[in-house]
């Protein structure tokens, strides 16, 4: 992974300063019905959006201020949708939120250049970032689901596509070359020996705790959860649904002052101590020891991925093997289907770089990323350029449909805004 320009990202940490000089009431940026949008919410999203857009505030403060207004309006729109979605009992499952958070986190780490860079930008450890993003991601998914219900049935006719194209053909610009692609993802995991060593080490720490050594000091010295280690492993009061299931089950089963058995989660091995329980909330501390992926583990997984590649002779073979072996849960059941990919915008940089070099119908060698290895199968290439109805009908149809849905959405927003209390404290008065 190439390092992104670190100076740019460090300076973006000050994006929130755009808000500090405003006359805000108790840090509130806007009120939407029962929902409060804090200035910190706006600043955080401005930061992340600026990173995505490679926006350097030192060079274009006007653009950053415009971005702030756009971000706030987007949050207001989302809360308007939530107000009505809650009345109609629109819900999403926790696992859907977990998956979306992990995907967004992976994308954010890639854009920032590294996990450490992202932590410096946001001033929080990755574990804290996950917990911070979770409620917002849930709200976003609920809003998207309700929008799908509202506008998912909207269609567009051929005549409407022709009208759209004739009206906007001079402003459509150039479209990129797209690659219709399948993939199989093999996630790097610690092998048996790596897991044995990690288990043995945390077992030794548990024995030290039981013999009277300070849990807090051992957490500071050895825990591999950077978000809590500096606090002696303490995570503060949390409610049910915050932790992964195995961790949560153990935490809520413990009496205060007791130390758990060794708990295994997707992050590694934990020992947990409950400091205090208050209703449905618990304050816990833990020590995490994560098994390391060894060079031998990497070599073994690469060899396995290469063997899968060599056993693939047809598109059907590739799809069948993706369903059986891929660790990408979002595409696994689809036979590894990524669909049409713009390599310049794909969140995994290494895949974007490889796609233009592939031949249609030939599976790639394993592509190395920080998380593991990918096999790619290029199915079709659609050359870019100036779009016409003859060469890019589907893309133009999609743009026309998006504009139609946007028009309906704007009308819906006007009606919703008239029935729900909205106050924007960042509007210049």
Using the 3D structure, point to which of 272, 289, 306 is the last residue of a domain: 289
Q: Residues 377, 327: one domain?
A: yes
For 292-302, the pLDDT digits (tens) are 999 999 999 99
Q: Are residue 229 and residue 299 in the same domain, yes or no?
A: no
Q: Residue 53 is part of a domain; what is its CATH number? A: 1.10.4030.10
With 60 as the cut, is the pLDDT of residue 21 above it? no
Q: Are 112 and 4 in contact (CB under 8 A)?
A: yes
Has residue 102 been placed in a domain?
yes
234/219 Cα distance (integer angstroms): 9
Phi, psi angle pair for 254, to nearest 5°: -85, 145
Split at pLDDT 50, 70, 90, the class of 282 is confident
The helix or strand, by DSSP H or E, that contains position 155, with its residue range, turns out to be: none
Q: What is the pLDDT of residue 185?
A: 95
Strands (E), 23-135: 28-32, 35-38
User: Are 77 and 51 part of one and the same domain?
Assistant: yes
Rounded to whole angstroms, the Cα distance separating 141 from 96 reads: 8
Are 105 and 126 contained in the same domain?
yes
Cα radius of gyration (the chain): 25
Q: Is residue 167 part of a domain?
A: no
- Counted domains in the chain: 3
Nearest residue to 241 via CA among 252, 231, 233, 226: 252
State the Cα–Cα distance between residues 394 and 400, nearest whole angstrom. 10
The tokens for 196 are: 């044995």
Q: Return d(Cα 46, Cα 29) in angstroms, integer.
A: 13
236 and 313 belong to one structural domain: no
pLDDT mean over 275-292 = 89
Residue 168 lies in a domain: no
Q: Which of 239, 270, 289 is the last residue of a domain?
A: 289
State how far the alpha carbon of 157 is from the alpha carbons of 160, 383, 388, 404, 419, in Å.
5, 25, 17, 11, 32
Instruction: State whether 310 and 279 are in the same domain.
Output: no
For 324-369, the pLDDT digits (tens) are 999 988 899 999 999 999 998 888 889 999 999 999 999 999 999 9
Lowest mean per-residue pLDDT among 102-111, 364-373, 392-401, 415-424: 102-111
pLDDT digits (tens, 9 = 90+) for 181-197: 999 999 999 999 999 99
pTM attached to this predicted model: 0.59
pLDDT at position 3 is 36
pLDDT digits (tens, 9 = 90+) for 220-271: 999 998 778 888 999 888 777 778 888 988 888 888 888 999 999 888 999 9
> 77 in a domain, yes or no?
yes
Strand ranges of the sheet holding 337-341, from the earlier edge strand across to the other edge: 337-341, 178-187, 372-382, 367-369
Residues 34 and 130 in one domain: yes
Q: Among 257, 272, 289, give the residue marking a domain's end.
A: 289
- Give the residue numbers spanning the domain of 263: 192-289
Asked if the structure places residue 364 within a domain, the reply is yes
What number is the average pLDDT over the span 397-425? 88
In a domain, 265, yes or no: yes
Q: Which helix (H) or strand (E) holds 357?
A: none
């Amino acid at each position: 992974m190439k390092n992104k320009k670190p100076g740019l990202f460090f300076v973006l940490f000050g994006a929130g300063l755009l808000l500090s000089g405003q006359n805000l009431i108790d840090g509130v940026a806007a009120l939407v019905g029962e929902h409060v949008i804090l200035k910190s919410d706006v600043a955080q999203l401005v930061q992340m959006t600026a990173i995505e857009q490679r926006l350097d505030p030192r060079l274009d403060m006007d653009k950053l201020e415009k971005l702030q207004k756009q971000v706030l309006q987007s949050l207001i729109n989302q809360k308007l949708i939530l107000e009505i979605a809650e009345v109609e009992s629109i819900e999403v499952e926790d696992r859907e939120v977990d998956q979306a958070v992990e995907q967004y986190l992976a994308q954010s780490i890639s854009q920032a250049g590294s996990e450490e860079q992202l932590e410096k930008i946001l001033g929080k450890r990755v574990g804290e970032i996950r917990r911070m993003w979770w409620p917002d991601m849930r709200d976003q998914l609920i809003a998207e689901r309700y929008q799908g219900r509202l506008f998912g049935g909207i269609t567009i006719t051929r005549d409407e596509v022709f009208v759209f194209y004739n009206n906007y053909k001079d402003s459509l610009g150039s479209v990129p070359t797209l690659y219709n692609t399948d993939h199989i993802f093999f996630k790097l995991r610690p092998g048996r020996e790596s897991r044995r060593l990690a288990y043995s080490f945390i077992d030794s720490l548990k024995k030290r705790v039981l013999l009277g050594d300070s849990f807090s000091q051992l957490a500071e010295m050895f825990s591999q959860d950077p978000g809590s280690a500096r606090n002696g492993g303490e995570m503060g009061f949390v409610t049910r649904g915050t932790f992964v299931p195995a961790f949560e089950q153990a935490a809520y089963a413990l009496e205060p002052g007791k130390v758990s058995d060794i708990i295994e989660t997707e992050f590694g091995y934990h020992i947990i101590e409950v400091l205090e329980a208050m209703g449905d909330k618990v304050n816990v501390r833990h020590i995490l020891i994560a098994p390391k992926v060894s060079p031998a583990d990497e070599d073994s997984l690469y060899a396995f991925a290469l063997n899968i590649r060599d056993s693939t002779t047809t598109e059907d073979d590739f799809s069948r093997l993706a369903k059986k072996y891929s660790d990408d849960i979002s595409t696994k059941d689809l036979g590894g289907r990524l669909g049409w990919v713009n390599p310049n915008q794909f969140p995994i940089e290494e895949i974007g770089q490889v796609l233009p070099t592939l031949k249609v119908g030939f599976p790639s060698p394993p592509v190395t990323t920080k998380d593991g290895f990918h096999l790619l199968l290029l199915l079709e290439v659609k050359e870019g350029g100036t779009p016409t109805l003859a060469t890019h009908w589907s893309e133009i149809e999609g743009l026309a449909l998006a504009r139609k849905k946007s028009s309906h959405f704007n009308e819906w927003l006007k009606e919703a805004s008239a029935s729900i209390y909205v106050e924007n404290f960042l509007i210049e008065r």
